[in-house]
Amino acid sequence: MLPRTFRFWIAIINSVGYCTAIYFAWHLDPLLPSHVDGPRSHPHALWWLVVALFVFPATYFLLSPRLYRASNRWKFTASCWKFTASWLPLFMFGACASFVGFPPEQPHIGVLISTGSFCAISFFTVLLRLLVGDFRFVNQSCGAVRSAFRTS
């Protein structure tokens, strides 16, 4: 099971990744020449930043235990669902913004690369958390070592 704070931080990573991708596309495109039309401006990109408000709750909700318990009816294992839910909301919102939101460059490669990188960060963070397991034994063994030193 993923703890609440861990789900919160994965949702933060995804939100920051989405905001980073949109913000850099919004502010760097007017400064860089393009092979299509020269420097591009995106006056509607602010609306794509507002969409970032949906990335956080979507990620947090998809990683909730209630949802991946229900995913057993869909023939997903809980671990497979957690791996998929860690990057899926960011990928969906980033792909929509890339393919729809930044003409004339569609898909916007900068947005795709940024969101893809943050998807990989989210995926590998959840992968390491689930593969390494729980670290409670570290505190227990440290407590045993401390008590051994106190008695001697």
pLDDT at 124: 92
pLDDT at 73 over 70: no
Mention every residue, 6+ apart, whose C-beta is less than 8 A from residue 105: 34, 36, 40
pLDDT at 3 over 90: no
Distance between CA atoms of residues 152 and 100, nearest Å: 69
Q: What is the mean pLDDT of residues 81-109?
A: 87
Q: Where do the domains of the chain lie?
A: 4-151
Distance between CA atoms of residues 132 and 90, nearest Å: 24
Decide: 67 and 84 in contact? Cβ < 8 Å.
Answer: no
pLDDT at 28: 81
Residue appearing with tokens 């995913």: 71
pLDDT at 118: 96
Distance between CA atoms of residues 123 and 139, nearest Å: 27
Cis status of the peptide bond prior to 3, with omega within 30 of 0? no
Share above pLDDT 70 across residues of the chain, in percent, rounded to a whole number: 74
